[in-house]
Structure 1
């Protein structure tokens, strides 16, 4: 048998052909990857490598009129964990360190570390010094095994006053945007605009050195300065809270206004909202009741009827009315504010003694259409405006729709509904010589450079003549005198003008009138008005007359405000007012 040797040349040719075939496959794949499909793979790689991050903008502050911060933003660190990166054997120790340093339950943190399906789990937002201390301890005790714990720069909203003007100011959510109050109403000004940056990171999430990055710098939020005086706000809040508790009332509100500017110096509610703990309260506690709650004003509304009667010329302060203690209106018999024998009262006496019957008699001389027009001119039936969040317009039905009894009851404040702010605005108008200045709460804002830009003043509207306003003011001063219903609102050394109000309170819970609304509104000094104070107390259980329940709150708040503003007594004596015929 003959052995034939292999042909080296043929083997080499076959090998070269095989190698050429394999290399052509690689070459084709490279052409596909780097040529035809390169953009697809570049984009896919970038998706994993290039990260976009938001750069938070610092939210502007809310301050009182003196620049004291009521809401402020501070730097913070969000502590987060990547459970996938935490060494399993060290989870217990990591959880213990985080719990001790962050003040969180260890069981809660351990549960977050055990969920390895997630790569980013927020744990807490803390002060930068707390975060630094935590990382120093973790690095010292666990060294490299503390990996999987990280932090992110952000801002945290703080409210130094706690519940000071809480429902007025409002609060922000976890995303840093306002959710209620002025925080929501002026969110665009306060929030600014977040920046953004794009960076390249490696597999472990660390930034790759010397790689490209792009960024858009954040635009810081602007500050909002309020007309609120922090000290007067505190005094008003304290006074209304104490009285609500003392009388077992449901709620209460106090408003202090500057007569000349219409600016709100204080706006307090009881109970108030603690802004540092708002998440634990129910939404009904977030409401600024001074602008949102509507109620029937009662006798504080008689000032509008008096203004309408005087302005029309149908009545003068000395006009005498024969006043019984009841009067028939359509199918109803309406009683006076207090029982009494038939008496002859001047119109000044009607207002001073808060006579319902006398007020009805004066309103009948005015007429329904003119009385409705005067109510509208004083601002009833429309939102006051001026930057308040949640304000309501109340209810002012057309005079053509008034029932037979409403034609009487509206004259003394039953059958219409208003807010505390609307009522305070009425007394500001009288105190300001008949010129209504739309209420305002924002004194101004800062511009991009940090300079203060004053806000425009409230719209000024002539409502009644100066003479009418002056005559009504003298009547209101008599109402605080010895013969009036508001004697408990008097302040030693000062001339005070004001009016009590006691109205039946409509309650949806009982589908009718249940309980009372006690009010007192007034201004001082009566002959040179500077400040208006209104106190409203809803559903008191221990007494209910405005002169007994609300007037003492007015006195406390007005006394403090006059001293705080350094407003001296005028040193004058009020003129003698004839209350009854023959005096």
Structure 2
């Protein structure tokens, strides 16, 4: 009886063993045959990893080598949540290093169904290394770089921004993204069972991006932005822009915007402040346009500097009656005096002598109505009325800068042609790319040297006694320029506003042989003053007073 029971037990155990053996054999066969490829790939993945090696993004410097945009080593910190054994403890340790709220990190680490989550991007290398030293299972760092702007606020709208993926989004960072970014590399890493790297190979090496050296001068740029900041405090405008240029080469020495933005902290800046107004803001130039009307008439021999005009208080052009900015009686003024005193009536009469067809030709000859080609993205073309769209009153509006629109960089470029002797050049912002000089364009002659000189002589009168900016003076230097005060167009009614204006000034020094060109535009100044001579001209004076000796331009 006992022997039979024992035999039964042995038989039962043998049967269980056979069943388990068969199951194990079946499992082994399934893993070895059916899942072999998948398991092999999984094992290889655990031992071998393909890692992107970010290329070093090129440095951007000013004309003297001052660093404006640099790339620093950094890392992206990520998590495999289901591998993190103690999320609460991990979050407490990581939060101060990642400079993120502890609760935010804990929420990501407790999403156990997730196989991947970024905890922080572009963490500085020193702090990322401390994360590695924590040795928390499931927490990884991936090498990358972060873009930094050492001067914070300086030329932020010109330099632009770089996104978290390392691509340029705005400004020069966007315009030259491919050149600055270089090419990322690829690294293959084989690790042993403890996670230590035992073999590292680079099948594709990272190629660093090119450096850019700008024509901007950090010293002048900084002073320009300070002066625009003073305008902002005094007049609280919607915005302001200034361009400083070498008129002979087209080199842009400064391009400032107000409000300023911190390039390292754009999160709180409004979109209107991030945009570069010098290339994207379009406005009617008003009286700063008058020198181009006069230049065309001089070239066509319709007038001379001394041609005398008997000017009524107002002029009738088709259905429009146009007067001066300040009421006056009948006067007689020469062409030169008309420009110095910014007479609307006189400029219209000069435009009428020129005629619509020739006037239109000269407007386009100075580059209005098309982009200048400056090395910045999103440049607007301005608006020039087609000749076949002229109405009976057009030659009453257009010669005095109404009914056409420009950008600040277009106006600066056109004034440079007057300053340098008659050659229109593309404004230059890039001096060197990867160590190689980017040559200035030769430009094209738009007016004769004689006409350019005559217009410059007339513009001296603007800052002389009786001119519209007579208080602008710098001891030892002769100055020349033109004020502008233009009504803005009401978008709803299509009529000129009686309360919103553009105040502007364009000028150069020394007047007889200009080496420095400066334009200032202020959008909707408040504080009780609207005139270009009161709002923009003093800013021109302040910029010139700094820049002339700074550049070593001798008094004359």
Give TM-score, length-normalised by structure 2. 0.90
Query: What corresponds to 2:481 in structure 1?
Result: 498
Distance in 1 separating the partners of 2:232 and 2:494: 24
How many pairs align? 534
Q: Over aligned residues, Cα RMSD in angstroms?
A: 2.7
Matches within 5 A, 1:318-397: 318-397=306-385
Matches within 5 A, 1:360-509: 360-446=348-434, 452-508=435-491
Q: Aligned match of 2:542 in 556, 573, 576?
A: 556
Distance in 2 separating the partners of 1:44 and 1:119: 15
Deviation readout 1:330-382 (Å, 9 max, x if unpaired) = 01101113211100001100000000000011111111111111111110011
Matched, 1:546 2:532: yes
Shift of residue 198, structure 1, vs aligned partner? 2.9
Q: Aligned match of 1:185 in 175, 184, 197?
A: 175
Matched, 1:112 2:108: yes
Distance in 1 separating the partners of 2:423 and 2:198: 68
Query: What corresponds to 1:132 in structure 2?
Result: 129
Relative to structure 2, which stretch is displaced further, 396-405 or 495-504?
396-405
Q: Aligned match of 1:150 in 140, 145, 148?
A: 140
Give yes or no for contact 1:199–1:207 (8 Å, CA) kept in 2.
no
Deviation readout 1:383-436 (Å, 9 max, x if unpaired) = 000312221110011222111221111101001000000111111000101111
Query: What corresponds to 1:269 in structure 2?
Result: 257
Query: What corresponds to 1:101 in structure 2?
Result: 97
Distance in 2 separating the partners of 1:437 and 1:419: 16
Shift of residue 84, structure 1, vs aligned partner? 1.9
For residue 278 of structure 1, give the secondary structure of its aligned residue in structure 2.
coil
Matched, 1:517 2:502: yes
Q: 1:203 to 1:282 in 2, by over 3 A?
A: farther
Deviation readout 1:478-528 (Å, 9 max, x if unpaired) = 111011101133222210010000111124366543311110000000011
Distance in 2 separating the partners of 1:561 and 1:169: 22
Distance in 2 separating the partners of 1:43 and 1:100: 38
Q: 1:283 to 1:490 in 2, by over 3 A?
A: same
Unmatched runs of 5 consecutive residues or more in structure 1: 1-17, 140-145, 447-451, 571-583
Shift of residue 39, structure 1, vs aligned partner? 6.4
Query: What corresponds to 2:198 in structure 1?
Result: 209
Unmatched runs of 5 consecutive residues or more in structure 2: 1-17
**Which consecutive segments of 4 or more residues in structure 1 shift more than 6 A?**
36-41
Give yes or no for contact 2:132–2:141 (8 Å, CA) kept in 1.
no
Shift of residue 178, structure 1, vs aligned partner? 0.3
Q: 1:260 to 1:486 in 2, by over 3 A?
A: same
Distance in 2 separating the partners of 1:198 and 1:133: 24
Give yes or no for contact 2:68–2:150 (8 Å, CA) kept in 1.
yes
Distance in 2 separating the partners of 1:401 and 1:49: 73
Matched, 1:250 2:238: yes
Query: What corresponds to 2:4 in structure 1?
Result: none
Give TM-score, length-normalised by structure 1. 0.86
Which entry has the higher C-alpha Rg, 1 or 2?
1
Q: 1:79 to 1:46 in 2, by over 3 A?
A: closer
Give yes or no for contact 2:385–2:404 (8 Å, CA) kept in 1.
yes
Shift of residue 58, structure 1, vs aligned partner? 0.8
Distance in 1 separating the partners of 2:201 and 2:550: 55
Shift of residue 157, structure 1, vs aligned partner? 0.4
Shift of residue 325, structure 1, vs aligned partner? 1.8
For residue 236 of structure 1, give the secondary structure of its aligned residue in structure 2.
helix
Q: 1:438 to 1:490 in 2, by over 3 A?
A: same
Distance in 1 separating the partners of 2:326 and 2:102: 66
Q: 1:40 to 1:122 in 2, by over 3 A?
A: closer
For residue 483 of structure 1, give the secondary structure of its aligned residue in structure 2.
coil
Distance in 1 separating the partners of 2:163 and 2:85: 34
Deviation readout 1:192-222 (Å, 9 max, x if unpaired) = 0101123345788x36635x85521111011
Matched, 1:221 2:204: no
Relative to structure 2, which stretch is displaced further, 238-247 or 409-418?
238-247
Deviation readout 1:261-304 (Å, 9 max, x if unpaired) = 01110000111222111133343332100111000000010010
Shift of residue 49, structure 1, vs aligned partner? 5.1
Q: 1:402 to 1:268 in 2, by over 3 A?
A: same
For residue 410 of structure 1, give the secondary structure of its aligned residue in structure 2.
helix
Shift of residue 154, structure 1, vs aligned partner? 1.2
Matched, 1:298 2:281: no
Give yes or no for contact 1:287–1:390 (8 Å, CA) kept in 2.
no
Distance in 2 separating the partners of 1:33 and 1:358: 97
Shift of residue 156, structure 1, vs aligned partner? 0.5
Shift of residue 107, structure 1, vs aligned partner? 1.3
Query: What corresponds to 2:152 in structure 1?
Result: 162
Q: Aligned match of 1:173 in 163, 183, 199?
A: 163
Query: What corresponds to 1:69 in structure 2?
Result: 67
Q: 1:368 to 1:510 in 2, by over 3 A?
A: closer
For residue 475 of structure 1, give the secondary structure of its aligned residue in structure 2.
helix
Shift of residue 83, structure 1, vs aligned partner? 2.4
Give yes or no for contact 1:172–1:180 (8 Å, CA) kept in 2.
yes
Query: What corresponds to 1:576 in structure 2?
Result: none
Q: 1:369 to 1:108 in 2, by over 3 A?
A: same
Shift of residue 33, structure 1, vs aligned partner? 5.5
Give yes or no for contact 1:262–1:439 (8 Å, CA) kept in 2.
yes
